[in-house]
Amino acid sequence: MLEGYFAFVFFTIWLRFADFHYKSTDYEQVDLFLQKYQADFMTLLDRYLQQRRIGMAIPHVPAQARLLDVGCHHGELLWKLRRLIDSGTGIDPLCDNKKLSDNICLIKGYFPGAAPGDILYHCITALAIIEHIPASNQTEFLDACASKLLPKGKLIVSVPDASVDRILEILKRFRLIAGMRLEEHYGFNADETVPLAKKSGFTLILHKKFQLGLNNLFVFEKAHEG
């Protein structure tokens, strides 16, 4: 899938550089074709990348855990884990307040404000979230994760490599991401993830690169209190 995506990118860039090979009407037809199928392609790419992140995280979620998924979208991760975990809560400003099953519920809002105040979790997942948080709030976010975890609880995060921002910049320049829902990355460097987490009382358990080295999975454990 990624290979097909990059082929699409390079083909489109070549078309934009080589427009002098076409009559204006021919190029307009090609451009209209790209605009027509671009958004759908990017949506498929988004879903593929999301599923890859979910697939990387799932093996590290403890069985029978109380799970909190920050930035849950529409609860895709929680739904896949509904038979493995004891209960799951998802928080996202784009979801609706609803129950997906007897043990899975979604809450519309932002973490940590929307998180139930009286519940501690065995595991928190935050996939493709930290890079969207301003640098001044990243420690606050990780502190909030620690406060919502039981001792020895797990924090599972995914963070893109710094080179991804450069790729996005190129795609923007050639109008290849017009149909893709992009949020601002605050220049976050994945190498900063471990030092930040340590400040909030987490110990690194696992760091693994995936998606051709462009993405990072981190699994942390909260220090035992006392």
CATH 3.40.50.2300 fits 52-222, yes or no: no
pLDDT tens for 106-161 read: 999 999 999 998 899 999 999 999 988 998 999 999 999 999 999 999 999 999 88
pLDDT tens for 39-52 read: 555 566 677 788 89
3-state secondary structure 26-58: HHHHHHHHHHHHHHHHHHHHHHHHHHHHHHHHH
Better-predicted residue by pLDDT, 37 or 1? 37
Confidence class for position 16, pLDDT limits 50, 70, 90: very low
Mean pLDDT across the chain, nearest whole number? 81
**Domain spans of the chain, in order of start:** 52-222
pLDDT at residue 14 greater than cutoff 50: no
Radius of gyration of the chain (CA): 20
Closest to 106 measured CA to CA, from 98, 94, 116, 115:
98
Range with the lowest mean pLDDT among 87-101, 103-117, 211-225? 211-225
The pLDDT score that the predictor gives to residue 189 is 87
168 by Cβ neighbours in 10 Å (0-12 / 13-18 / 19+) ranks as middle
pLDDT tens for 115-124 read: 998 899 999 9
What is the distance between the alpha carbons of residues 103 and 84, in angstroms, rounded to a whole number?
11
pLDDT tens for 156-176 read: 999 988 766 666 666 556 555
pLDDT at residue 20 greater than cutoff 60: no
Closest to 112 measured CA to CA, from 151, 77, 68:
68
The pLDDT score that the predictor gives to residue 188 is 80
What pTM was estimated for this model as a whole? 0.78
The pLDDT score that the predictor gives to residue 168 is 61
The pLDDT score that the predictor gives to residue 55 is 95
